[in-house]
């Protein structure tokens, strides 16, 4: 798995018996995202699909919305004293005529793997206006199809099988087919990687799709879904009150506690025939 995982020796205790063994851990390293050479954000992430992460982050912040608005993404050499490449600094080039990020997007502090909003200059920057409205997306999904998505997502989590320590985000069609899966120590990073994949494949807006996440549904994940034009967000755990409020405001279907044959539908039940 390369830099996606790391091996460490641990002391394991089971029923009073002590043994030493190697353990596989999910890697976590900082990634600095620059736009046109100017620092924009630092996020703690699991290395892998970094270009997708950077592209998805810029979609989520309203900077870009089409593949043609990107000119290049590259790793920056010279990130160390000796001029080496750590593969932890990315520079994104925007196409001619694409405005640079608004100053409100700039993050004053680093983004942790658990909190995508840490260091946000203002909440207004998160409530960016999407280029597409999900309110009028005519997607309908059978409840029986929705209930298959957590198991499909879990089965595709290859790195989680080795570490037990990664979130996942998966993009599904209305008939339950998995289009893209990404794993990361940060659930917001996993979603950005999915959205970035879609942008670079020129698939935005993601009308008629379902975004499934392995953790809880936060305000930021609802915002990211809306910014990518995704009409349905499903999570295996609980949403926050602000997530439900934003989903209702934007016309997004929000599902929580999706486990087995049960779920809570917080907003947009019409897409499930409710």
Q: Which residues contact 144 (CB under 8 A, 6 or more apart)?
A: none
CA 196 distance to own-chain centroid: 9
Rounded to 10 degrees, the C-alpha dihedral 225/230/232/235 comes to -40
The answer to whether residue 115 is catalytic is: yes
Sequence-separated contacts (24+) of 149-155 with Cβ below 8 Å: 149/176, 149/210, 149/212, 149/234, 149/258, 150/212, 150/214, 150/236, 150/258, 150/259, 152/176, 152/178, 153/178, 153/181, 153/212, 153/214, 154/214
**Cβ neighbourhood burial of 254 (10 Å; 0-12, 13-18, 19+):** buried
Compute how many other C-beta atoms are within 10 angstroms of the C-beta atom of residue 23: 14
Contact 38, 176 (CB under 8 A): no
Please tell me whether residue 113 adopts helix, strand or coil conformation. Answer: coil
DSSP for 220-245, please give it.
Answer: HHHHHHHHTT--EEEESSPBPHHHHH
| Sign of the CA dihedral with 224 first, then 230, 236, and 239 last | positive
CA–CA gap between residue 194 and residue 203 (Å, rounded): 11
Catalytic residue among 76, 115, 118, 180: 115
Catalytic residues: 115
């Amino acid at each position: 798995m390369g830099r996606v995982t790391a091996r460490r020796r641990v002391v394991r205790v089971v029923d009073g018996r002590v043994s030493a063994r190697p353990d596989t851990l999910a890697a976590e390293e900082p990634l600095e995202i620059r736009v046109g050479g100017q620092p924009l954000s630092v996020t703690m992430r699991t290395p892998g699909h970094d270009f997708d992460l950077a592209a998805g982050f810029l979609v989520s912040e309203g900077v870009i919305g089409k593949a043609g608005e990107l000119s290049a993404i590259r790793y920056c050499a010279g990130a160390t004293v000796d001029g080496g490449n750590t593969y932890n600094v990315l520079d994104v080039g925007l196409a001619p005529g694409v405005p640079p990020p608004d100053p409100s997007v700039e993050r004053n502090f680093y983004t942790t793997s658990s909190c995508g909003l840490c260091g946000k200059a203002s909440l207004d920057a998160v409530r960016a206006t999407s280029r597409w409205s999900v309110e009028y997306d005519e997607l309908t999904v059978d409840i029986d199809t929705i209930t298959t998505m957590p198991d499909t997502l879990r089965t595709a989590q290859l790195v989680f099988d080795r570490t037990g320590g990664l979130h996942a985000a998966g993009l599904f069609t209305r008939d339950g087919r998995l289009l893209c899966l990404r794993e990361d120590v940060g659930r917001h990073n996993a979603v950005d990687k999915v959205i970035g994949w879609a942008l670079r494949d020129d698939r935005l807006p993601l009308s008629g799709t379902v975004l499934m996440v392995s953790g809880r549904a936060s305000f930021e994940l609802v915002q990211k879904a809306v910014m990518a034009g995704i009409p349905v967000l499903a999570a295996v755990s609980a949403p926050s009150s602000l997530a439900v409020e934003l989903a209702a405001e934007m016309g997004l279907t929000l599902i929580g506690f999706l486990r087995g044959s049960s779920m809570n539908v917080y907003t947009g039940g019409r897409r499930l025939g409710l």
